Amino acid sequence: MDTPAAPSRLHAVFAQLREQLSAEIVGQSALIERLLIALLADGHLLVEGAPGLAKTTAIRALADRLEADFARVQFTPDLLPSDLTGTEVWRPQDGHFEFQPGPIFHSLLLADEINRAPAKVQSALLEAMGERQVTVGRQTYPLPRLFLVMATQNPIEQEGTFPLPEAQLDRFLMYVRIGYPEASMEAEILRLARDRARNEHAGTTRTAAPLLRLSQADVFEARTAVLDLHVAPSLERYLIEIVLASRDATRYDPTLARRIGWGASPRGSIALERCARARAWLAGRDFVTPDDVRAVALDVLRHRVLPSYEAVAEGWDGERLVKALLDKVPLP
């Protein structure tokens, strides 16, 4: 029996997309993979990293290769919710208010330095990220079917910042922390920067292979293919057990259980399975393995597993707790 052509075509398209992004964003392969996983799993991404690590460049490069519009919002202490969602403008010639949509109505939104805006602005994202709609006054407006928010945080400067509340953190599919590229990548980054500067000064564009243009239909088809991947019952139990242990790890380690103040909700279980599926699909497999679950567990759960007060005093955070859980819960 002939195998269907669509899955292999989609795999080839996403492989090409990953290759082009990797050529432009050197030394951040983990960020690129997480961006593609978020795209396939229909979720949002919170990225924490020092300035200059290509966070903005990465989302822009993805937007350039998607059949989707892109907007960037710089979050600042004086930002208003209406600067994000839009506002109603009075039209005296017509005698009525007209809604002017804000940047949140773009398919790809970069919320740059999200923790620099106060809670009232951050909360404007809650309805949009959770329900894919925006309510202004008495009217509710749907957001695009393809809607991905990538928010960034700077871990260095914390003066004048507003920590994200847990309810909003939970809306992010993954919380990714990135670091500096390896030394071997630094020379390649310098070469790319020189080439870009040379082309800009000469008024020319790069003569590399043309940019891939991925249609939204392909994205939605790939999402369906991801949901069709096989997950063995034993692996599903393993995935659920990790989340259950985050709520009560007593039978694995009573000391660890006391260090966990709050565990992951069912939204964490859903996110963990969707991300593991997406990673397996990107690898060209039609089944999910324990390695897929473990590879994404840290980014999916680090912001959903909260340490107790005693654990914080001992230097524990969500990342360290998730690593301990992965060590304790036996593989299937």
Local confidence band at 3 (pLDDT 50, 70, 90 cut-offs): very low
Superfamily of domain 5-202: P-loop containing nucleotide triphosphate hydrolases (3.40.50.300)
Is residue 239 within 8 A of residue 24, CB to CB? The reply is no
pLDDT of residue 290: 96
CATH class of 229-328: mainly alpha
pLDDT one-digit tens code per residue, 75-89: 999 999 999 999 888
CA-derived radius of gyration, the chain: 21
Round the average pLDDT of the chain to a whole number and report it. 89
Q: How far apart are CA 129 and CA 104, in angstroms?
A: 10
8-state DSSP, 210: P
Is residue 185 within 8 A of residue 193, CB to CB? The reply is no
pLDDT one-digit tens code per residue, 90-103: 888 877 888 899 99
Q: How far apart are CA 181 and CA 321, in angstroms?
A: 26
Local confidence band at 207 (pLDDT 50, 70, 90 cut-offs): very low
Sign, Cα dihedral of 228, 231, 236, 238: negative
| Domain ranges, ordered by start, for the chain | 5-202, 229-328
**Terminal Cα distance for the chain, rounded:** 33
pLDDT, greater one: 6 or 29: 29
Q: Give the H or E element holding residue 95.
A: none
Within 13 Å, how many C-alpha atoms sit on residue 81's CB side?
15
pLDDT one-digit tens code per residue, 101-137: 999 999 999 999 998 888 888 888 888 998 999 988 7
pLDDT one-digit tens code per residue, 154-199: 887 666 678 888 888 999 999 999 988 888 788 888 888 888 788 7
Write out 107-130 in H/E/C secondary structure: CEEEEECHHHCCHHHHCHHHHHHH
Contacts of 143 (CB under 8 A, 6+ apart): 104, 105, 128, 132, 133, 134
